[in-house]
């Protein structure tokens, strides 16, 4: 049982938000521009989690391009997605109820995602999630992405909370390894953007649904 002195840090894509539909919409426009082969949402989802540059490179390779297109596709895809990060996206199962539960119980919450900072802020604002999070850390210059611990450490430094322990909630090995590197506990939620069985990710807690997080906490 987790005691009540924990702050919660959530991953975004595949944990809080099913964002692949908007990513797919943006990448389809880019692929068409550079006459590359199409990619399905299902396949694109397997490329999510390492940041936009990594995703772009993997898409180029998969869709018949070569490394000369990496930077072009990355910049075009980034522009397309930045203009419209929330049209087809939706909340993952149980997210709204869980966030509301912890919000009403005054449990501090934050976000740590490899998605770029301003796109993250725009997305959570458009999805009416802004009020729940006191800390939002997205990709920015000179801060290594997860699974490096730097983003999590930066997030922890920004919590204005008397609670000194943290739980990282995510859906992939990146989230678990980042938590381990930052020396905090982790929980993974089934149904996210990993093709690995969540019981094999090495998290402290494996949960079938976001709502199950509330059972870990001892809150009056």
Over residues 98-135, the pLDDT tens digits come to 999 999 999 999 999 999 999 999 999 999 999 999 99
In a domain, 98, yes or no: yes
pTM above threshold 0.85: yes
Domain boundary, last residue among 32, 54, 83: 83
The boundaries of the domain holding residue 38 are 20-83
Band (pLDDT 50/70/90 cuts) for residue 13 is very high
In a domain, 37, yes or no: yes
Domain boundary, last residue among 67, 83, 99: 83
3-state secondary structure of 50: coil
Residues 101 and 197 in one domain: yes
In a domain, 112, yes or no: yes
Residues 135 and 161 in one domain: yes
Rama region for 102: left / alpha / beta (φ>0; ψ in -120 to 50; rest): alpha
Q: What is the pLDDT of residues 18-63, one digit of tens each?
A: 999 999 999 999 999 999 999 999 999 999 988 899 999 999 999 9
pLDDT of amino acid 220: 63
Residues 115 and 201 in one domain: yes
90-121 in b/e burial notation, b at 16+ Cβ within 10 A? ebbbbbbebbebbeeeebbbbbbbbbbeebbb
Number of domains in the chain: 2
Instruction: Tell me how far CA of residue 68 lies from CA of 36, 64, 74, 151, 191, in angstroms.
Output: 13, 12, 11, 30, 35
* Interatomic CA distance for residues 72 and 55, integer angstroms: 13
Residues 135 and 212 in one domain: yes
Half-sphere exposure at residue 140, Cβ-oriented, CA atoms within 13 angstroms? 13
């Amino acid at each position: 049982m987790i005691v009540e002195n924990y702050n919660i840090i959530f991953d975004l894509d595949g944990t809080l938000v099913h964002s692949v539909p908007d990513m797919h919409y943006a990448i389809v426009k880019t692929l068409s521009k550079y006459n590359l082969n199409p990619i399905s949402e299902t396949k694109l989802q397997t490329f999510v989690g390492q940041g936009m540059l990594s995703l772009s490179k993997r898409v180029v390779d998969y869709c018949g391009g070569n490394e000369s297109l990496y930077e072009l596709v990355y910049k075009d895809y980034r522009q397309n997605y930045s203009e419209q990060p929330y049209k087809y996206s939706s909340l993952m199962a149980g997210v709204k109820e869980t966030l509301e539960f912890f919000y009403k119980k005054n449990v501090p919450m934050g976000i740590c995602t490899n998605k770029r900072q301003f796109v993250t802020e725009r997305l959570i604002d458009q999805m009416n999630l802004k009020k729940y999070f006191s800390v939002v850390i997205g990709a920015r210059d000179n801060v290594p992405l997860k699974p490096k611990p730097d983003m999590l450490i930066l997030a922890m430094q920004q919590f204005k909370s008397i609670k000194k322990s943290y739980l990282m909630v995510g859906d992939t090995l990146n989230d678990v390894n980042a938590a381990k590197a930052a020396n905090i506990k982790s929980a993974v939620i089934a149904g996210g953007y990993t093709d690995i069985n969540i019981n094999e990710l090495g998290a402290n807690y494996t949960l079938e649904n976001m709502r199950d997080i509330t059972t870990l906490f001892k809150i009056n």
